Structure 1
């Protein structure tokens, strides 16, 4: 079974709004590019899918926009080419190498996890909360940024039950950000 990893940038006070943290730098973009390339597919809710598509879809001209720094292009190409599954009750269709994930969320994601491959990735706020409540997330990866936002959506707000985690990897960045990867703790009783 391929594991499902939830990956997100988060501020020290738990805010996970994409504009609340540090702007991306070359080192963090290399990190996220490598992570994106290791995933067989990405799961998004409608809001995250539309936000990522508006930022990272390659223009019809075939040329990346001028606002994009050269070191952002490998990430842009990775996410642009990635297989995507979108969970949405309101979208009738998707493109950008994506397909709608239909049916009940739990069984649909379980089917994806049963397919051959190395790993699935999920991002965003609402969908990961639902997946965590269903016990479907196998790894949590937080890039914690040295910023206090003081407002905005917080990480996994509304989680029904506490999920004990164990640290399995840690990476420090020159910016002061720290990427930490956790797995749900095994019950040792």
Structure 2
């Protein structure tokens, strides 16, 4: 069975985006950017919600072609394009860059994908992750906490019907007071 991880930047008060989908507070240091790039390189399949997909697909497919592209951005763009991706959206849209679209029930499809042979999967997007969280499908949570309070927006965690017990498996500081925490779900 494949492992499913939900990993995102979050504010100290628990939001992945501030009101208005503002992500200006979450600009990564070079070290953190490299960590995210290495994570993409190690991910066998990424599951995207529509909004995050729209943001990523509007930038990364051609980011390495920009005249001022840094080597790290060039590497990330290549890794992102090469990584197999699934986009979950009820809004008919086209997808590209090694991606397929799922318009049906996300929980059913994620359950099917977890049961397949293969490497680790990442779920990207708080709304999609919320559905997987409520269904008990997430095996690992990775929070990169930024020392900022944004006061509202899109929360990392959703309301749940029952507790999810976790075990802390890693902590790692990053420049500027950021802290990575990684938890595995105890089953």
Instruction: Please name the residue that 1:86 is paired with.
Output: 87
Instruction: Please name the residue that 1:95 is paired with.
Output: 96
Q: Which has the higher helix share?
A: 2
Q: Which has the higher strand share?
A: 2
Instruction: Please name the residue that 1:13 is paired with.
Output: 13
**Unaligned runs of at least 5 residues, structure 2:** none
Q: Do the aligned partners of residues 154 and 106 (structure 1) sit closer, same or farther apart at CA in structure 2, a change above 3 Å counting?
A: closer
Distance in 2, matches of 1:146 and 1:41, equals 30
Q: 1:2-38 CA distances to partner (integer Å, 9 max, x unpaired)?
A: 1010110001111211615331221001101111111
* More divergent stretch after superposition (138-147 vs 95-104): 95-104
| Contact map agreement 1:122 1:128 (CA 8 A) in 2 | yes
TM-score by length of 1: 0.88
SS in 1 for 2:154: coil
| Contact map agreement 1:22 1:147 (CA 8 A) in 2 | no
SS in 1 for 2:159: coil
* More divergent stretch after superposition (10-19 vs 125-134): 10-19
Instruction: Please name the residue that 1:57 is paired with.
Output: 61
* More divergent stretch after superposition (29-38 vs 94-103): 94-103
| Contact map agreement 1:42 1:83 (CA 8 A) in 2 | yes
Instruction: Please name the residue that 1:27 is paired with.
Output: 31
Instruction: Please name the residue that 2:165 is paired with.
Output: 164
Q: Do the aligned partners of residues 157 and 116 (structure 1) sit closer, same or farther apart at CA in structure 2, a change above 3 Å counting?
A: closer
CA shift for structure 1 position 132 = 0.2
SS in 2 for 1:103: coil
**Unaligned runs of at least 5 residues, structure 1:** none
Q: Work out whether 1:176 is the aligned partner of 2:158.
A: no
SS in 2 for 1:89: coil
Instruction: Please name the residue that 1:112 is paired with.
Output: 113
Count of matched residue positions in the alignment of Structure 1 and Structure 2 = 183
* More divergent stretch after superposition (102-111 vs 2-11): 102-111
| Contact map agreement 2:166 2:186 (CA 8 A) in 1 | yes
